[in-house]
Amino acid sequence: MIHPWLRLALPALLCAGSISPSLHAQASKRVTAPFVNPQQITIDANAPTTPFPHFWEQIFGSGRAILSLRESYRNDIRSVHKVADFRYVRFHAILHDEVGVYNEDEHGNPVYNFAYVDQIYDGLIANGVRPFVEISFMPKKLAFNPDALHPFWYKQNVSPPKSMARWDDLMTAFAQHLVDRYGIDEVATWYFEVWNEPNIDFWNGIPRDLSYFELYDHTARDLKHVNPRLRVGGPATAAAAWVPEFLAHTSANHVPVDFVSTHGYADDTVQDLFGTTENIPRDDRVCRAVAKVRHQIDASPTPHLPLFWTEWNVIGANNARDTTFVGPALADTIRACDGNVTQMSFWTFDDVFEEGGPIPRPFEGHFGIIAKGGIYKPSYYHFGLLHQLGDRRIANDAKNLIVTKAPDGSLILAAWNLVDPGDHGAPQTLELALHGVPANAHVSIQRVNDDHGNVLPKYAAMGSPVDPTPAQVLQLNQETALGPPAQTQLHDGKLTLELSPNALLLIKVQP
Amino acid sequence: MHLGTLHSLAFAATLFAGPLTLSTLAQDSTPPAATSTDLVIDAHAPTTPFPHFWEKTFGSGRAILALRADYRADLHTVKQATDFQSIRFHGILDDEIGVYDPARQTKNPGLAAQAANDASVYNFFYLDEIYDGLLAEHVKPYVELSFMPEKLASKPNSQHTFTGNPNTSPPKDYATWDAMMKALATHLIDRYGIDEVSTWKFEVWNEPNLDFWGGDPKQETYFTLYDHTARDLKSVSPRLQVGGPATAQAAWVTPFLAHVHEVNAPIDFVSTHVYANDTAPNVLHTNEEVPRKTMVYRAVKMVHDQILASPYPHLPLIFSEYNASYANEPNVTDTPFIGPWLANNIRLCDGLTDSMDYWSFSDVFDEQGVVRSPFYGGFGLIAAESIPKAALNDFRALHQLGDQRIALDSDSALATKTTDGKLALALWNYAPPTGIGADYTWPKGPAGPPKTFTVTLQHVPSNASVEVLRVDDDHGNAVKAFDAMGRPPGDLTPAQVEQLRAAGAMAPTEHLRLHDGKLQLTVPAHGLAVVLIGR
C-alpha cells in the first residue's frame, strides 16, 4: 500500500534521483522532500474559513510537582509565556511523599498537609498558569504495596491504595482544600485527571484496567461530591489505549467524566498505538492515534466528550528535540490533528526534569523547549512563530503549509520542510499564488532554521561547555534571538519561498 | 522572679512606668516592678575592633533547597538585612544533587532503563546552579562537604533519618573519594576562578561525632576522611581553605588538632557547633547547670582556649552552627526572646571566635519533613511563606552596630562606634523563654519586668538626635499576630499570610533627642533596642 504522501509526491520522485535512497531504506520513515519541487500552491484569501483554536500551545507538561518550587522552573514558565499562549501545566506526582500531602500519626490516623501543594499551585498561578491536576502517585503510607516503586529516578509509588475509604477521604480533603483556598470559580476552571498511564508500569493494580477503573470511579465521585463543577477525566493512558473500554465502563456505571485524556508519542510503536503492523511513518503516528481516539469517542455512549491529548512529543532519535526538526514536526502535527482534539499538551515545556536523574549537560535530547540552565532551543522559537497563526483556517491541500486568517484580515501562513532525524533532506521551493489580496501586498517573513534561532552551532562555537555559566546562557539566548522579520511584497500576487531542510517559516500577508 | 537580670549598677527603680508598660502589666497577676540600669558612655573612650562575627555566615536547609524560588527570595531578604557573606548547608554530595553517579541510567516510560552514556562520572550541573544562585546575591558558599553518594558508600544502607535520607557512611574506597574531591575542586576553580574560590571555606563533613557519620570508630575514621580531603583540596590549589572537625557539642577539637599536627595534614580553620540547650555534661564535661543564656559563650570560650593550647594557637575558630535551641521550640526561635539572647552572646563571644553561623537563615527547611505551620519553632529568621520573624528584625537592628567597641560594664548593653563616628548602642532585657519544648506556651503577660535604661553620653552634643530600632513583643513580632489569629494549626490563607508578613515587618524607627546629654529608654522583657546617636 502506498502512503497518501507518497502518492502526492510520486511525480517528483520520478525525476529526483538524488534524494531517493532514504525512501526505500526504511519504509516507516518519512520520505525526504516528498513534494513536487518547486511546489505550486494557490491560496484564496476569500475562501471559507473554519475555527482554528490554538490547541497545541495552551497546556504543557513539565517535570514532577516538587520541581515547580524551583526558581529555574518558574523562570522558564515566564519565558514560555513570551512565546506561547501558555495556560495550564500538567505534571506527575503531586501526591508523592516529597510533597508531604499524606502522613499517618502514631495511631495510624491520616494527617494531611497541603503546605507544599499550596506553594506549588500558588507559584503556577502567580506566573499565569493554572494546574492541570494529574492525581498521582500513591503516598507510601497509603500504598497497598509500599515497595511498588517505579524505576524513575524519583522512585514514586505506583500501588493502589491500601484502603479505598482512605483514598476517598484524601481526595475529598484535597478537593475541599483547593476549593476553600482558591474558590470554586477558580478551581472550576482547572482539570483533574486520574493518575498517569495506568496501562503501563505507572500502575500496578491487578488487573490493570479494572483496578484503574475502580480508582477512577472513586476519585471522580469524590471530586464531584465536593463540588459538581470540578472537571474530571481519564484514563490518561499511554499509547492511546483503553478509551472505548473506559467510556463503556463509565457510561454503564454512571460515573462522572468531563473529558477523555490519553497519550501518544511519535516514538510509540504502531503495535502499541494501533494494534496493527502497518507501516505508519513516525511523524504521522500522533495524529493518526488522535483520529483513532476521536472516532472511538464519537462511537461511544458519550460522543460529545472533549479529547485532551495530555502527553505527546515529536521523534526523539539523534537528540532531535534539541534541533530545528521540532518546529516542522510540530507544525505538521498541528496541521494534521486540527479538528480532532481539544487540547494537546507538549511534554514538556522545559528540561527542569529528573526522570532519569539530574541532567548533566544542556543538550541530551530531552523533551523541553528550554534546555537545562534556561537555554532556548529552536523549539522555543518554533512555538513563538506558530503562536502568531490566526484563529481561522483556510483549507489547503498542501501538506507542508497551514493557511490562517487573522481578525484584521491578514493571511498568516506557516510553511516548513520536514526532514526526519538522520536524513539529509533537500531544499524545498514553494511558489505561492495568492488571490483575494493586493497583487503587491506587503509581506513579512520570520524563520527558524539551521542559521536562525538554532542554538546548537552557537553552543558548539562556544566550545560546548558542559556547565554553561549564567553569562554564557545569556549570550546564547542573545545570539539565537530572532531578528526583525524580513520585509518584502507580493509580485503579481506571487511569493516564492525557499525552505532549507527543517526550516519553519511564518509568513504574514497584509490585506 | 528575674533578679538575675537586675544590673549591679542599677541604683533606683523607675517609679513611673509608661502607659504601655502599665497596660501590659495589668494582664499579669503579679506585676513585676521595673528594673533600672544606668550607663555612662564616653564617645571619646578607647575602642577595640568589633567585627560583625555573628552575621558573616548563616546556615540553611539542605543544598537542593537552594534551587527553590522561596529560598532565593529569603536569601535576598536576609542579605539586604545583614549583608552576610556566606552560607553553609548540608548535602552538596547527596544523590539528589547528582554529583557522583558512575552508572546513571535513563528511563523512558514503558521502556527498559538504559545506560546514560555520560561523558564523565561527575555531574556538577546542580552544584553550579546552586552556587550560581548564591553568588548572584553576592553570597559565597561555605562548602560543607557532605554526605556520601550512595554509589561511593561503604554501607549503602547507612542512611540518616532526615528527609532525603542522606548516606552517612565512609567511602568504600579512598582513591575514588580522592578523585571526586580533586575533580570538585578543579571544577570550581575552572568555573569561578581561584581568586574567588580561595575566599571560600571547605569544611569536611558535618557533626561526625553524632549520627551524621557512620564510620567506626567515629573519631579515627573521621580523621582519615579529613586527612584525605584536606590533602586532595590542597593538591589542586594550596590556596583553598579547609577545616574541621565540624563536630556537634564543641567536641574533638583538642584531639583533632593533635592528630592534624601529628600527621602534618593541612588545616586553615577549626569549626565546631553548639546549641544553647546543649548540656554541660555533653559540651563542657562538667556537671554544672549552665543556662541557655550563657551555654554558647561557655562552649566558645572552651574551644577558644583549646586552640590556644594546641600546636596551632592562631587558627581561626568558626562556630559553623549555633542557635538558642537544637530542637523545634516555638517559644524560643519564633519569638522576640531571640534578640536579647543573641545580643548577649555577641557581647560575650566578641574576640573569642571569628564567625558564629546562625542555624539557619530561613525556614525553607525540611529535615523533619514538610513544614505545615509557619510557627513551629523552626530555626530560621524567616518563617515559611516568607513571613519575617522577630529574629530577622533582631539581626537587622544589630547590623546597625559599629565596627569599633567601647568597653561597658553591663550585661544588658553594648556600645559601639560606627565608621562615620556615630555611637550605636544595643540595649536589651533578657528573660528566659516563656515556655520550652515542641508545644507552644501561650504568654500570660510579659516574660519579666521592664528595664529602664538611663544613658549618660559624654562628648556628644547634649541634644543630639537619636534613632531607636525596637524589636520586642509589640514591635516587629509576627507571633503576636499569629497568636491573635488563634494559632491556626493548618495551612494559612493568602490573606493570613499577608497579615503576618505585615505584622512581622520591622517597626518604624523612633526619632528622639538627648536631653541634657541623657537618654532614658524602657525595654520590655524579651526586648532589644538598637540606639543610633547622631553627632
Distance from CA of A107 to the nearest CA of B (A): 18
pLDDT for the residue B418: 96
CB of B54 closer than 8 Å to CB of B342:
yes
CB of A447 closer than 8 Å to CB of A384:
no
Question: Nearest by CB to B70, which of A119, A272, A372?
Answer: A119
The distance of Cα A472 from the centroid of its chain, to the nearest Å, equals 29
Share of residues in chain B with pLDDT > 90 (%): 85
Say if the Cβ atoms of B120 and A466 lie within 8 Å.
yes
Chain A touched by B182 (CB under 8 Å): no
Say if the Cβ atoms of B491 and A114 lie within 8 Å.
yes
CB of A353 closer than 8 Å to CB of A63:
yes
Mind giving me the DSSP string for B95-134? TTTTSB-TT-EE--TTS--EE---S-SB--HHHHHHHHHH
Q: How many residues does chain A have?
A: 511
Say if the Cβ atoms of A200 and B125 lie within 8 Å.
no
Most B CBs within 10 A among A121, A467, A474, hence the mutation to make, goes to A467
pLDDT for the residue B118: 67
Q: Is the pLDDT of residue B147 over 50?
A: yes
Say if the Cβ atoms of B70 and A181 lie within 8 Å.
no
Closest CA to A233 of A281, A195, A280, A201: A195
Q: Which residues of A272-283 are buried (b: 16+ CB within 10 A; e: fewer)?
A: bbbeeeeebbbb
The distance of Cα B463 from the centroid of its chain, to the nearest Å, equals 37
Mutual orientation of helices B69-82 and A71-81 as an angle, nearest 10°?
110
Say if the Cβ atoms of A360 and B118 lie within 8 Å.
yes
Closest CA to B58 of B39, B81, B38: B81
When pLDDT is cut at 50, 70 and 90, the band that residue A193 belongs to is very high
- Alpha-carbon span A478 to A483, nearest angstrom: 10
Say if the Cβ atoms of B491 and A177 lie within 8 Å.
yes
Q: Is the pLDDT of residue A32 over 60?
A: no
CA distances B442 to B331, B447, B479, B486, B505, Å, are 9, 11, 11, 10, 22
A259-263/A307-312 β-pairing:
parallel
- Is there a catalytic annotation at residue A364? no
Q: Say which residues have a Cβ less than 8 Å from residue A472's Cβ, sequence separation at least 6.
A: A462, A465
* A357 contacts in chain B (CB < 8 Å): 98, 101, 104-106, 116
pLDDT for the residue B5: 33
Say if the Cβ atoms of A72 and B67 lie within 8 Å.
yes
When pLDDT is cut at 50, 70 and 90, the band that residue B31 belongs to is low
Report which DSSP code applies to A449: B
Residue given cell 505506583 in the structure block: A158
* A360 contacts in chain B (CB < 8 Å): 98, 104, 116, 118-120, 123, 125
* A355 contacts in chain B (CB < 8 Å): 106-107
Share of residues in chain A with pLDDT > 70 (%): 93
* B68 contacts in chain A (CB < 8 Å): 69-71
Residue given cell 592562631 in the structure block: B314
Chain A touched by B515 (CB under 8 Å): no
Q: How far apart are the first and last CA of chain B?
A: 39
A319 backbone φψ class: left, alpha, beta (φ>0; ψ -120 to 50)? left
CB of A350 closer than 8 Å to CB of A373:
no
When pLDDT is cut at 50, 70 and 90, the band that residue B108 belongs to is low
Task: Please write the tens of the pLDDT for every residue from B4-24.
Answer: 333 333 333 333 333 333 334
CB of B450 closer than 8 Å to CB of B34:
yes
Task: Please write the tens of the pLDDT for every residue from A200-214.
Answer: 999 999 999 999 999
Which residue in B207, B220, B329, B385 is the catalytic one? B207
- Alpha-carbon span A146 to A160, nearest angstrom: 10
- Which value does ipTM take for this structure? 0.88
- Which one is predicted more confidently, B489 or A129? A129
pLDDT for the residue B163: 86
Rg (CA), chain A: 24
* A123 contacts in chain B (CB < 8 Å): 69
Please identify among residues 133-152 of chain B the ones whose CB lies closer than 8 Å to any CB of chain A. Answer: 133, 136
Say if the Cβ atoms of B72 and A360 lie within 8 Å.
no
Mind giving me the DSSP string for B252-266? SHHHHHHHHHHHT--
When pLDDT is cut at 50, 70 and 90, the band that residue B107 belongs to is low
Mutual orientation of helices B338-349 and B295-308 as an angle, nearest 10°?
20
Question: Nearest by CB to A113, which of B101, B120, B372?
Answer: B372
Chain A touched by B196 (CB under 8 Å): no
pLDDT for the residue B164: 86
Share of residues in chain A with pLDDT > 90 (%): 91
Element (H, E) at B497: helix B494-503
- Burial status of residue B105 (CB atoms within 10 A of its CB: 0-12, 13-18, 19 or more): middle
- Alpha-carbon span A497 to A145, nearest angstrom: 59
Chain A touched by B111 (CB under 8 Å): no
Distance from CA of A265 to the nearest CA of B (A): 11
B413-417/B423-429 β-pairing:
antiparallel
Question: Nearest by CB to A197, which of B109, B118, B369?
Answer: B109
Interface residue ranges in chain A relative to chain B, Cβ cutoff 8 Å? 69-72, 74, 99-100, 103, 113-116, 118-119, 122-123, 151-153, 177, 181, 197, 200-202, 238-239, 272, 355-361, 372-373, 466-467, 469-470
Reading the block at residue B256, the C-alpha cell is 583533632
Say if the Cβ atoms of B120 and A153 lie within 8 Å.
no
When pLDDT is cut at 50, 70 and 90, the band that residue B372 belongs to is confident
Distance from CA of A92 to the nearest CA of B (A): 13
When pLDDT is cut at 50, 70 and 90, the band that residue A96 belongs to is very high
Task: Please write the tens of the pLDDT for every residue from A274-301.
Answer: 999 999 999 999 999 999 999 999 999 9
Chain A touched by B189 (CB under 8 Å): no
Most A CBs within 10 A among B64, B68, B93, hence the mutation to make, goes to B68
Which residue in B321, B329, B498, B510 is the catalytic one? B321
Residue type, A257: V
Task: Please write the tens of the pLDDT for every residue from B396-438.
Answer: 999 999 999 999 999 999 999 999 989 999 999 999 999 999 9
* B69 contacts in chain A (CB < 8 Å): 69-71, 74, 123
Distance from CA of A61 to the nearest CA of B (A): 14
Q: Residue A269 CB: number of other CB atoms within 10 A? A: 15
CB of A65 closer than 8 Å to CB of A99:
yes
The three state secondary structure string of A174-226 is: HHHHHHHHHCHHHHCCCEEEECCCCCCCCCCCCCHHHHHHHHHHHHHHHHHHH
Task: Please write the tens of the pLDDT for every residue from B213-225.
Answer: 999 999 999 999 9
Q: Is the pLDDT of residue B209 over 70?
A: yes
A207 cis-preceded (ω within 30 degrees of 0): yes
CA distances B310 to B244, B259, B358, Å, are 15, 11, 26
Residue type, B85: Q
Q: Is the pLDDT of residue A88 over 50?
A: yes
CB of A171 closer than 8 Å to CB of A138:
no
Task: Give CA torsion, residues A82, A83, A87, A88, to 10 deg.
Answer: -110
In this prediction the pTM is 0.91
Residue type, A478: Q
* B133 contacts in chain A (CB < 8 Å): 71
Which residue in A193, A197, A354, A431 is the catalytic one? A197
- Alpha-carbon span A138 to A16, nearest angstrom: 56
pLDDT for the residue A26: 40
- Alpha-carbon span B377 to B433, nearest angstrom: 12
Element (H, E) at A289: helix A282-298
B217 cis-preceded (ω within 30 degrees of 0): yes
Report which DSSP code applies to A161: B
- Is there a catalytic annotation at residue A479? no
pLDDT for the residue B33: 82
Q: Tell me the average pLDDT across A4-13.
A: 33
Average pLDDT over all residues of chain B? 92
Say if the Cβ atoms of A152 and B107 lie within 8 Å.
yes
The three state secondary structure string of A346-360 is: ECCCCCCCCCCCCCC
Q: Tell me the average pLDDT across A392-417.
A: 97
CB of A365 closer than 8 Å to CB of A316:
yes
Which residue in A106, A311, A431, A498 is the catalytic one? A311
Q: Is the pLDDT of residue B447 over 50?
A: yes
CB of B253 closer than 8 Å to CB of B283:
no
The distance of Cα B30 from the centroid of its chain, to the nearest Å, equals 35
B33 backbone φψ class: left, alpha, beta (φ>0; ψ -120 to 50)? beta
Question: Nearest by CB to A360, which of B123, B187, B371?
Answer: B123
Q: Is the pLDDT of residue A22 over 80?
A: no
- Alpha-carbon span B94 to A362, nearest angstrom: 21
Q: Residue B320 CB: number of other CB atoms within 10 A? A: 27
